[in-house]
Amino acid sequence: MKALAAPVITLISRLLQASIVSAAWIMMLCIVIQVVMRYVFGRAPSWTEEGAMLMFSWAILGGLALGVNQGFHVRLDLIIGSVPLPMRRWAERAIDAFTMSFGAYLLWSGERYYSMTGGSVSAAIGYPIEILHILAPVCGALIFLFATARLLGVSQPEAETEIAP
């Protein structure tokens, strides 16, 4: 099972990372177009702001999920550092379980919000607002997947960064 799941988790992680980098580049391009059009031509297109916001939303939410997979998500290392060494493994598993619960909650609540806002469109571009709102449940599903993989030992981060005291 682990032998089959690990390559899938790695593939999803790499695709996620590529999509975050792409979103960041698209966001920057939208901002540059916005600035040039505003200050050079005196008329900024409305789509650049919404495009940048959509890409920013994915970069942040996708980065959150990627952080869970690669072990650079927010956590209190101070507390883990104070746990006796034999119990540290269990504390790490507890963090992974809590993170998995958070991902499940984000998936559930994000899906509910997505369902409630169905049929709406964005103000400037007029794209279906579901495109923006689907990002939360997708992020929740990825967090759940990555935290579950860590909890089961299917995937471990490539390199965890330690902050020196």
* Structural domains of the chain, count: 1
- For every residue of 17-60, DSSP letters joined together read HHHHHHHHHHHHHHHHHHHHHHHHSS---THHHHHHHHHHHHHH
pLDDT-derived band of residue 1, with 50, 70 and 90 as boundaries? low
In a domain, 82, yes or no: yes
pLDDT (tens digit, 9 = 90+) per residue, 98-145?
999 999 999 999 999 999 988 888 888 888 999 999 999 999 999 999
pLDDT > 50? residue 162: no
In a domain, 162, yes or no: no
* % the chain with pLDDT above 90: 61
Tell me the two tokens of residue 139. 């992020």
Q: Count how many Cα atoms sit within 13 Å of the Cα of residue 154 in the half-sphere of its side chain.
A: 19
In a domain, 158, yes or no: no
Say what the pTM is.
Answer: 0.85
Tokens 């493994």 -> residue: 89
Residue 118: which domain range? 2-152
In a domain, 23, yes or no: yes
Q: Which residues face 121 on adjacent strands?
A: 128
pLDDT at position 157, please? 54
Q: Which amino acid is residue 108, in one-letter code?
A: W
